[in-house]
Amino acid sequence: MRGAAILTREIMAQEIERKYLVGDTAFLSGLTGILFKQGYVATREGYTVRIRIEGERAAIALKGLSEGISRSEYEYQIPAGDAEAMLAEFCERPFIEKTRYRLAWRDKVWEIDVFSGDNEGLVVAEIELHCEEEVVEKPPWLGQEVSGDARYYNANLVHNPYCQWR
């Protein structure tokens, strides 16, 4: 029976992150990224339920309302077959498709997302923080900070894809 596996809580409580635009992606040359495909079951006034396939791993996440650069987040690993079925049956289109690169810089790991599909051309870098006031050294390839700009939230890119911004 599909979905019979017991879900394990993987990430709980609070997500605190900053998000920046990236212009020149030459620094990614030679790095291997992971393909992501994700969809949203529900988005309501800043709350989201996300289904994600990340390489061979799949997860469901519930995210709360953003307060500054923080919000609650609960993520659980689910069987990949269930994730595929949920994406097909329950999620809004278009899906968010991107390749994620993880890059260590000054004792921090940056996640760089190179979007494809309807969001082709958009490249963002995110850094998870321990607290909102944490100061991190910024790599030279970072551009403008867009942490508070809701247009760059993945859930909003479904309804207003980057290809429509121009």
As annotated, the active-site residues are 40
Rg for the chain, CA atoms, rounded = 16
Q: In angstroms, rounded to a whole number, what is the distance separating the alpha carbons of residues 72 and 56?
A: 25
Q: Are the C-beta atoms of residues 144 and 20 closer than 8 Å to each other?
A: yes
